[in-house]
A and B are shown apart, each in its own frame.
Chain A
Amino acid sequence: MINHVVIVGRDAPLWLSANVVQFALGPAGVTVTAVELPPHAQPADVCVTLPAIEPLHTRLRIDEGRLIAGTRGAFTLGRRFVDTGGRTPAFFHAHGSNGSRIDEKEFLPHWVRARRQGLDAPFEEFSLTAAAASAGRMLLPDAAIDRFGFTDYGYHLPAIPYAAWLRQVALRRGVRHHWTGHLDVRLEDHGGIAELLLEGDRRVSGDLFLDVTGAEALLMNALEIGRESWRDSFAVDRVMSAHAAPVSPVPIYSEIRAHARGWLAMVASQVCIHVQHAYSSDLAPGPAELAAAAGIPLQGVVVRERHPGRRQRAWEKNCVAIGDAACVFDPMHFVDLHAVQAGLVHLLPLFPVQHDFSVERDEYNQNVRSAFERLRDFQSAHYLLNRYGDSAFWARGRAVAPSAALAHKIDAFRARGECVDYEDEAFTIDEWQSLFIGHGVVPESCDPAVDRTTPDMLQGELARIRGFIRQKVGEQRTHADYLREVSQIGGRVSGA
C-alpha cells in the first residue's frame, strides 16, 4: 500500500497540498510529511483565486470568515480589463452569468440581435456580478438572483499570511513537518525517488512524493523529466511584484491595465494593493513609464523570471508534480493556485491503491494535461485577440499561433456565438463570452432560436434585466461592510 506521502515545497501551494492529502486520505491511514523549503513569497505577493477554491476550503473545513480575518484578504467578483492607451473600452470578466434567459433562450444571442437592432449597451451592463463589483458591493444570491442567473466569487489572499494560515491548519491536523534550507534527492535503482536528504543528515523516505517546489521542480528534475516550453506562445518572461498603500474602500475586483510595454495588475487586499507587472525583458519599460502606468508609489519591488511550459509528465515513477513544478503558466488571469488545486483534485480519485499504479498515472497525466491546456488556451486568447495597439509587446501577442482547440473555439464563437465546451474547462462559458466580447469578437450571426422573440419583447426584457440589476445591487452590502461582518462571524462556524 502507498501509505506515506512526502510533500516537498514551499509557500501556499505546499500547505494547500498537505491539507488536501491529509484531510482526504488521513482516514485511510495515509500519513503526510511536509518538507518545507525557504519561502519565496514576498509581502507583495498575493494569491488570486478562482471561485473553485471556496468549495475546496469548505471541504477542508476552513472557515471563510476566519481566513479573511486571519489573512486580511478580500473578496473578488472578477477582473476589469483596461486599455491605458484608450483605444478600446474597458471590460469586465465577472465570476457570474451574463444577462438572464429571455423567452426561455440563452442571453447572448438576444444581445447580439439587439445590437443589430441598434442597442448601444456594452455586454457587461447585463452582468449582475459585474455591476455589483463596479458598485463596490458583495453579491450574495437570494432566490430571485438564483432564478436570474449564477454568481460566484474568488479571493485576494496575501500570499505570506495565507501560507501561514494553511500551515497552521496542516500542523494542527497532524501533518509531520521538516524544515530544510537545502535538499538532495536519492534515486532508487529502478529510477524512482528513494529518499530525500535534508540538512543536518536527516533523511525522509516515503511511498509517494509530491513535488511542490515551484518552477525549480527539484524532484522532477532529479527524475530528468523534461518540459514542453510554451515560450513561443507567451511573450511575458518577467513579472515584477510590488505593493502600494491600501485604499479604502477595498475594491472587490482586480484591474488589469494594458500599456504599450506589458500589463499591470492591481489586486487589492486589506493589507495593501498588490501590483504585478508582466512584460518581455527585451521590451522592458523604463521606471518612469512603469510609475506612470501604476499611478501610485510602489514598494518592495521583486522581479522574477517566468518561463511558461508544461512538464512532459506530471506524474513520473513515484513522484507527482503539483503547481509550477508541473506547469508554469503565464501570469494573465492568475491561474497559478487553480493549477495547484487542479493537480490535487485530479490526484485524489486516482490515489494509488496498490504498488503498481501505472494505470492511475496514465490517466492522471492525460487528465492534467488536458486541464492545463484548457487553462493555457484561456490565457492565450487574451493575447491573441488583443486590440491594444501596434506596440511590439502586443503585436507579439497577436502573432502567436493558437492551439487547434483554441483556434476552433474562436472560430465557432466568431461565426455564431457558440462556445465550444471541451471536457476539461476551468472557465465557464459565460467567462469565455466576456473574454471574447471584451476583445471585440462579436458573433457574426446568432442562434436562430431567438429570431421569434419580437423586438418589443426583447426591449422589454433587456429593460427588465437592467432594472433587476439596479435593484439587486442596491440591496447588497458594501465590500467593506461585508469584510467586517464575515471577519466577526468567522469562528462561530466550526472550523480551523
Chain B
Amino acid sequence: MHTAPLRIVIVGGGSAGWMCAAACAQVLDPARYSVTLIESDDIGTVGVGEATLPALQDFNKLLQIDEAQFMRETQGTFKLGIEFRGWDRPGQSYLHPFGAFGQLWGGVEFQHFWLRARQLGLDPPPFEEFSSAVRACARNAFEFPDTHSVRSTFYGYAYHFDAGLYAEFLREWARARGVSRVEGQVVDVALDEQGDVRTLTLKSGQQVSGDFFVDCSGFRSLLLGEKLGVAWEDWTDWLPCDRAWAVPCERSADFTPFTRSTAQKGGWVWRIPLQHRTGNGHVFSTKFIGEDEARSTLLASLDGRALGEPRLLKFRAGRRVQPWKRNCLAIGLASGFLEPLESTSLFLIQKAIQDMLRLLPTPEARGVDERLVGEFNRRSDELYERIRDFLILHYTANRRFGEPLWDHVRQYELPESLRHKLRLFDVRGHVPYFKDGFFSRDSWLAVLFGQGLMPKGYDRLADFMAREQLDAKLRDLHARVWAEVSAMPLHEDVVARYCSESRFRQAAS
C-alpha cells in the first residue's frame, strides 16, 4: 500500500520556521512526510540575543544536538535565571532562578518553614539565599547540576545564544536531513474550494503547493491572520509595551550566568550575555515614553561600546484566537506575542512544535481532523493564559510610585485568575501548582517575594517541626548551599573550557 507523502510547507525562516523544520526532519518519516521551508533573504528576522528556558534542552535532545557544539556555534552561554532590577522599586533587585528554594520537609513546602521561622523571631537568612542557583548567580559561577549526586537545593539551567546563529545552525542541520529550502517571498495564497490553503505563489512566479501549512511568517501572520482571517485577541490593556530597541554591545567583564531585566521609566531593558558580545534591548510602551527617549535610555544603560545602531521592533501583546485553523497552523509571532520578560518566546515555539507533531494529519487521512485541532488549540490557550498571568504579576506588584507606566499597571483590573492567586499568597504563602510544571511553584515564589510581597500567614502543616529543630535545619541548609556554591567555578571559565570557539580552534589545530 503506497500513500503519497503529506506535503508540509513552512512559511518563514526565523527561529520558529527552522526549529519547526528541524523537528519535522528528525521526527517524521521522510517516506510519509515531505518538508519544504520558504524564506526570503529580503525579509529580516526579529532574532536578537535570545534567552531561553531549561526546556530547550529537551528540544535539543530530541534533535540529538551536541550541547557544546550548539553553544559554540551560537555563541551560547549558560543561564541560571533572570535578575529583575528595580521592578519592585528603584535600587532593589531579585533573582528568579531555574531551581528550588530550599527543600520539602515532611512533604511541606519550604516557604512555610521560612515564614514560620520569621514569625517566631528566628531571623532566618533571606529567602533567596536558600537557592543554589541564586547564590551561584551572585558569584557569576556556574556548574552543571548533575556534577554531584547530592545537592543542597535542586536547580536547572538554560542558555543565552544568538537567535540568528541558532536559526542558521538549525537551517544547516535541517537541510542536511532532507528539508527543502525555497528562496522567495510569498505574494499570493490560494485556497481550495473547501477553504483550505492549497498553493502559495512567490514573487518569482514559482508556485508551491502543499497539504499542511505552518505559518511562521512573524507578526504579519500571512496565512492564518491575513488569509484565513483568524482574529487577534488584544492583551495590551494588561501588557502595554509595544516597541523594543535592540542593540548589541561589546562583552563586558561582568559575564553573568543570568539574564538581567532592569525596569525603566517606560518599560524595561534586557541584557543577555553572549560569548562574543552582549545583547541589549529596551522594551517600552509608546503610551508612556517616546521612541527617542527610549533609544537614549537603552544606549545609556550599556556596559560596553555599542556595536552598530539600535534597531526598532514593533509588536503588541496578544494572540490569534485559533492558532490552528483548517490546514494551517501558526507558530511563533504569527500566533501571538508576549514580551520576552520571562524568556518564553522560544518555549512557546517549542511547545507548539511538539504538540503539532503529535496531532499532525497523516498521509492516509489528509483532511484536517477537528478533534485534534481542538486539542492543539486548547493546550495553546492554556499556556498563553498562564504565561500572561505570570507576566502581569511582575508589573502589578510594583512600588514605583509616580511613574505613569508603573502607576497604570499597578492600578488596572487584574484577570480574576491572578487576583485569586495573589490573595492566597497574601493570606498564607500559598502558590499555584500546575501539573506540567509551568510556571513552577518556585517561579511564583521568586517573583512574589521578589516583588516585595510578604504573606501574613503560613501553612500550619509546617508546625510539626519544633522551634529549635527548625532553626537548626534552616541554618544547616543555608550553610550547605553556600559551601557548595563557593566551590563552583566561574561561569566564564566553564564557558571557555566547554564551548568557546577559540578553545575549539586551539584543540583542532
Mark A residues whose CB is within 8 Å of B: 24-25, 27-30, 59, 348-351, 353-354, 359-360, 362-363, 408, 411-412, 414-416, 418, 420-421, 423, 444-445, 447-449, 451-452
Contacts and interface: CB of A to CB of B under 8 A. Distances in A.
B359 A418 contact: yes
Contacts of B369: 415-416, 445
A481 to B, nearest CB: 33
Contacts of A362: 420
Contact of B29 (A351, A359, A418, A452): A452
B364 A445 contact: yes
A412 B427 CA distance: 40
A350 B458 CA distance: 10
B463 to A, nearest CB: 4
Interface string B1-39: 000000000000000000000000001110011000000
B357 A28 contact: no
Contact of B435 (A24, A29, A423, A451): A423
Interface string B356-375: 01111010110001011011
Given A408-B375, A416-B358, A423-B434, A451 B29 contact: yes
A14 B93 CA distance: 50
A452 B423 CA distance: 50
Contacts of A59: 107
A359 B357 CA distance: 40
Contact of A448 (B357, B378, B428, B435): B357
Contacts of A360: 424, 427-428
A416 B359 contact: yes
A181 B150 CA distance: 56
Interface residues of B, number: 35
B461 interface: yes
Contacts of A348: 461
B394 interface: no
A353 B458 contact: yes
Contact of A421 (B33, B364, B435, B460): B435
Interface in B405-456: 420, 423-424, 427-428, 430, 434-435, 456
Nearest to B458: A353
Given A423-B435, A447-B358, A448-B362, 4 more contacts: A349-B430, A363-B424, A416-B369, A451-B32
Interface in B251-273: none
Nearest to B466: A27
Contacts of A353: 427-428, 456-460
Given A27-B463, A28-B463, A418-B375, A445 B365 contact: yes
A351 B429 CA distance: 12
Q: Which of B32, B359, B460 has the most CB of A within 10 A?
A: B460
18 contacts: A25-B463, A27-B463, A27-B464, A28-B464, A348-B461, A349-B430, A353-B459, A408-B371, A408-B375, A415-B372, A416-B371, A418-B358, A444-B365, A445-B369, A448-B27, A449-B28, A449-B357, A452-B28
Nearest to A350: B430
Q: Which of A348, A354, A414, A449 has the most CB of B within 10 A?
A: A449
Given A362-B420, A420-B375, A354 B27 contact: no
